[in-house]
Chain A
Amino acid sequence: ETGVTQTPRHLVMGMTNKKSLKCEQHLGHNAMYWYKQSAKKPLELMFVYNFKEQTENNSVPSRFSPECPNSSHLFLHLHTLQPEDSALYLCASSQGLAGESDTQYFGPGTRLTVL
């Protein structure tokens, strides 16, 4: 798990707050991902960045705004969230070179609670 780190590990925010989640990977990978894990639902892919370019936006509401300044860092900016956005947000990375057979490595997640 130390290959992909996420901060903060826990976050409580009000619906009018603005906050950011940070992900950093130390594996030399080129692709990074954001997932949402809600109770009793499968993991949902939110965004994919490949070589810093966004290649996937899985119909995510605009109150979630990703940013990938370089291949090692990925942010998820949050604003005007709803209580149903409370979930575990997971970051992952992969080499980005082997395509579909790449292995994704996950961070520990940020547990977000929206009041």
Chain B
Amino acid sequence: AQSVAQPEDQVNVAEGNPLTVKCTYSVSGNPYLFWYVQYPNRGLQFLLKYITGDNLVKGSYGFEAEFNKSQTSFHLKKPSALVSDSALYFCAVSFGGGYNKLIFGAGTRLAVHP
């Protein structure tokens, strides 16, 4: 069965420090992996996705994610965190049927402190 795990409910980081939000997945076949961000009272905003090719994917707002097939992980990273990055982050995996069905992780709340 397809599944996504975000092992941390919350991540705290100081402004200017690097941040990592973890995601692991379980899929049969080739994974298509996504990261979304949700600010308070807003919908989900697309950050980046991995389909194939280079394991390091660059996305919006300076975020990037590294696909690691052997560890079945797709961790989200940013070299220098901003207070405005504080939000809820969701990892998702897409699977079958000829169209895009997403399974989401439970979400990780990122808090960036000044």
Contacts and interface: CB of A to CB of B under 8 A. Distances in A.
Interface stretch (A11-19, A43-51, A65-73): A43-51
Contacts of B107: 42
B46 A103 contact: yes
A104 B49 CA distance: 11
Contacts of A106: 36, 43-46
A42 B104 contact: yes
A114 to B, nearest CB: 19
B100 A94 contact: yes
Contacts of B96: 100
Contact of B49 (A1, A4, A99, A103): A103
B42 A100 contact: no
A100 B100 contact: yes
Contacts of A102: 94, 99-100
The interface size bin for chain B is 20 to 34
Contacts, number: 74
A107 B38 CA distance: 11
A103 B32 CA distance: 10
Given A42-B106, A50-B99, A102-B100, A90 B43 contact: yes
B97 interface: yes
A50 B98 CA distance: 10
B104 A108 contact: no
Interface string A1-26: 10010100000000000000000000
B67 interface: no
A96 B99 contact: yes
Interface of B: 32, 34, 36, 41-46, 49, 51, 90, 94-107
Interface of A: 1, 4, 6, 31, 40-43, 45, 48, 50, 55-56, 90, 92, 94, 96, 98-109, 111
